[in-house]
Amino acid sequence: MANNDLPIIIPRPDTDRTALFSEESTSIAAPTESSFVSQFGTHLPPAQYLTQKHEHGNSSTNTAYYEFLPSTAPVSGLSAGRLLIVHGVGTPALGMFPLAKVIRESYPHFHIVLYDHFGHGLSSTPLVPHVPALFHAQIIALFDHLKWANAHLLGFSFGGSTVTSFTALHPHLVSSFTLVAPAGLISSDSFSEQEKRYLAGGPGVDENAARDWIVDWVSGGPLVVQPDWKDHFSRGEIISGDPIQVWERENHKGHIPSIVAMFRDGGACDMHEYFKIASNKSNIYKLAVIGELDSVCSEQDLKNVGFDHIIVVPKAGHSLVRNRVSEVASPIIEFLQKASAQ
């Protein structure tokens, strides 16, 4: 849970931002890589950084990204693939390492990149509205920096919503897309009146209470750090994102403000039209992998917006990307082979 200091509130999309920024306005810096590695080890490649300038204020940000370069030439009949893996809200790129590792073992000829969303891991927090376009721009900047004309996209939870809206708006950059337990299909109408006020924010809303409700909702309740988590992490078993989230909350001043802003404005809810548009891109291969018990996204939710290639992992919840890795990876590996065939 967040502390009770006066919260930092990221500007909302309908705010007159010209009155909010001064010459000193900038992003909230991320922690150092050395502090992160000292806590969690070197499972990912060394962080590299991409700097972006933002439209409003005097704000620039650093995006941390992690490259697994191809270690072999492409096998016969398959293209030299590029895969961008997009994590969810809360746990940064390290939380996707187990899935990335299994995919890389099957596709050593792929160029695989993970990155930290703004306000997560080693990426800074821009003091601009956290709307989907901000996260699309982060992906486009990475593509430009990496000199990628297109790539396969894989998004988990909030990353699934981001990948879907990105595909709907920038299909020429997408070779295929895979959604794992995507957010975006929850209707804000399903929340109580008090919760809707927390989502809306503004005058009369207790921002501390709103922040705490949003953070708890995103985390699925209080974080639980198992006493033996370091033993698991030392073996590359990132079985829970909770230790990482605790570290972010304690060390990244922009983390919780970003979580709140992302949930309010970034595409966690009410993204149905983007899903419909993306599902209708008949020339782009698509796959969804979800847990049978996931309350964030169900098979019927996806069918309602036009998806038909859906794999349901039995008795799995929203955290299947870490605790059911082999069952998630298996259909993705098969799917990437089909999507990469020349």
pLDDT of residue 18: 43
How far is Cα 276 from Cα 305, in angstroms, rounded to an integer? 5
Tokens of 35: 């502090």
How far is Cα 278 from Cα 75, in angstroms, rounded to an integer? 30
Q: Which residues of the chain form beta strands (DSSP E)? A: 48-53, 60-68, 82-86, 111-115, 151-156, 174-180, 285-291, 310-313
Q: Please count the helices (runs of H) and the strands (runs of E) in the chain.
A: 13, 8
Tens digit of each residue's pLDDT, the chain (342 residues): 444 456 788 988 876 444 444 444 578 999 999 999 999 999 999 999 999 886 655 567 899 999 999 987 666 555 569 999 999 999 999 999 999 999 999 999 999 999 999 999 999 999 999 999 999 999 999 999 999 999 999 999 999 999 999 999 999 999 999 999 999 999 999 999 999 999 998 888 999 999 999 999 999 889 999 999 999 999 988 989 999 999 999 999 999 999 999 999 999 999 999 999 999 999 999 999 999 999 999 999 999 999 999 999 999 999 999 999 999 999 999 999 999 885
Which amino acid makes up residue 48? Q
- Quick check: helix, strand or coil at residue 159? helix
- DSSP code, position 116: P
Alpha helices in 190-239 (DSSP H): 193-200, 207-219, 229-234
Tokens of 273: 């039209």
Phi, psi angles (nearest 5°) of residue 22: -115, 180
Per-residue exposure over 90-119, b if at least 16 CB sit within 10 Å of its own CB, e if not: bbbbbbbbbbbbbbbeebbbbbbbbbbbbb
pLDDT of residue 75: 62
pLDDT of residue 19: 41
**Domain 17-340 -> CATH class:** alpha beta
How far is Cα 260 from Cα 199, in angstroms, rounded to an integer? 9
Q: Say how many CA atoms lie within 13 Å of 319 toward its Cβ.
A: 13
Return the domain boundaries, the chain.
17-340
pLDDT of residue 7: 74
